[in-house]
Every structure is written in C-alpha cells, then in structure tokens.
Amino acid sequence: MIPTYVLVHPSGSNSRVWATVQREMAFRGHRTLAVDLPGRGTGFTRAYQTQDLAAFAAEPSPIAHVTGRQWVGHVVDTVRRIRDHGPVILVGHSLGGLMITGVANEIPGLLARVVYIAAQCPVTLAPGDYIAEPEWASSTLFPATAKITMTDPAERRYIRLNWRTNDPAAFDALRDALGGGASPDTFVAALNGFEPDEVWWQTNPTFDIRVGKDSWGRVPHSFIRLTEDKNMPPAAQERYIQEADALTPHNPFDVHFASGGHGTFLHRPAEVVDILSGFGE
C-alpha cells in the first residue's frame, strides 16, 4: 500500500511551512499530510499586522495553555486516521522532533518509520537542558531571536516574537540563523508565515518528551543531518543520534546528510525529498 508522510512543523510555524516540500513530494508521486499542532494556524492579530507594538505585546495568546500532551495527542489522532489507508511515515523538523518522539512512544505499532530533519530527539536530558550543553554553544538562533522578543516568557508561559521587525540588523541575524542561504526576498516570504507565539517548552514539564527504549526503540528511525545548520549545530544533531543509538543499539538511526542550513530544504527541497522518497519505496 502507498504510505502517507505525516509532516510535523517546527517552532513558530504551522502546516503551511511544508508547502514547497509537499509540492516536490507530489511531483514524485508521494502522498503527504501536514498537521497544524493545537494553537497553530490561527492567523495574525491586527496589532501584529499593523505593528502596534504596545497592543501586540499586551494581547493574550492562543498558545499560552497548550501542553505537550495536547500536541502529541493531536498527532496520534491524525496517525490513527491515516493509518486506515496505509503505512505512515512520520516526519518532524526541529521542535517537531519532540512530537514525533512522543507519538512513537505511544503508538509504535502504527508507524512504519519516524524521520527527524535536524530535529530534537532527547534521550538522557530534558529538551531544554540540551540547549545549555557545549554542542549548542555555536547556535546563532538565540542571539537572533533575543532582538525580537516582546515579552518575558517565564512570566507569560509563552514566548512572543516580532518576526515583522523593521530593524535591519535583526532581520540579517534572523536570516543568518534560519534562512539557510535564502535571498532576502525569499526569507521575507518565509517570515511572513511565521507565527509570533510559541509555547515556552524549555521549562514546561509537559514537553519533557524523551525516547523510550521499549516503545520508540521498536520503530525504524532515520535522521537527516543538515550540514550547515546554524540553528541546531551539526554537533548537537550528532549528540541526539549517538545517545539514541546507545539506548537502542539493536535499532540504530539510519543517518543521511543534506547540505544547507536549518531552513534551506523548506525553500529548496529537492535534496531532502530525494532522501524522503527512499523511505516510501
């Protein structure tokens, strides 16, 4: 039977981030479904659109009370429905790795494979603790987003970022961290799809999702390493792989490499789609 690739988006994003990847997959005859995690895909407020920054900073968030359990449960429900029509290959990018890990822990028997694209895959530490480790020290993401952070995440229980900043230095820093070689115009188009609010998962215990040896460890799993990633440095990606392999040496990661930065494949998808296509053969 024809597999379905279920695609789980990264932080600050929604299902639309996969549009170019899905188009390329369709050209190659593959079936895909991109999900919106709870609290995502809700659109933008007037204050954000008009850059009324005082009002934007003060307004409530649709994601303030979202839990990791809700996110995992949503993807579990999606997989259960899609599984009626054939095998499911579950793909996560960046923060989406936590969700596909949680799903594989819960319903390993319903998954043909889980695929991490430069995605979080915690094993020995809580997800937020990895960021303080040496492998993450060179990440340019956190200095870049510090320039556009609108609220205190510890106080609000979510982080609010003004992706539509008019600060040229902030824009350049974001493009360096996330753009993956995109032209300024291409990166502007990408930023226009970013959602300003994200859960403060670093300190939220419901997002402490780690691989389970006897559940996740039963599922074939692949990792696509992005070799020029400035957000999740290659050393951080490799640490996830090594820790998981040490936990499940009988079922190690199938590792692949793709050039480019953290978001390159989202606007130039051919290289990653070449790899994804092989899993459906």
Residue 26: left (phi > 0), alpha (psi -120 to 50), or beta? alpha
Would strands 221-226 and 254-258 be described as parallel, antiparallel, or unpaired?
parallel
Pairing of strands 197-199, 158-160: antiparallel
| Confidence band of 13 (pLDDT split at 50, 70, 90) | very high
Residue 50: is its pLDDT beyond 90?
yes
Q: Which overall architecture, per CATH, does domain 4-279 show?
A: 3-Layer(aba) Sandwich (3.40)
**What share of the chain has pLDDT > 70, as a percent?**
100
Listed in sequence order, the residues at least 6 apart from 95 whose beta carbon sits closer than 8 Å to its beta carbon are 10, 11, 119, 120, 201
pLDDT of residue 162: 96
3-state SS string for 193-249:
CCCCEEECHHHCHHHCCCCCCCCHHHCCEEEEEECCCCCCCHHHHHHHHHHHHHHCC
Q: Give φ, ψ of 32 to 5 degrees.
A: -135, 155
**Cβ partners under 8 Å of residue 28, min gap 6:** 273, 277
Confidence label for 157 from pLDDT (cuts 50, 70 and 90): confident
DSSP string, 145-166: HHTTB-S-HHHHSEEEB-TT--
Taking alpha carbons only, the member of 161, 164, 131 closest to residue 231 is: 131
pLDDT of residue 280: 84
Burial (0-12, 13-18, 19+ Cβ within 10 Å), 64: middle
* Mean pLDDT for the chain overall: 95
Give pLDDT tens digits for 72-97: 999 999 999 999 999 999 999 999 99
For residue 203, pLDDT beyond 90: no
Domain boundaries, the chain: 4-279
Phi/psi of residue 277, each to 5°? Answer: -60, -35
pLDDT bin (cut points 50, 70, 90) of residue 164 is: very high
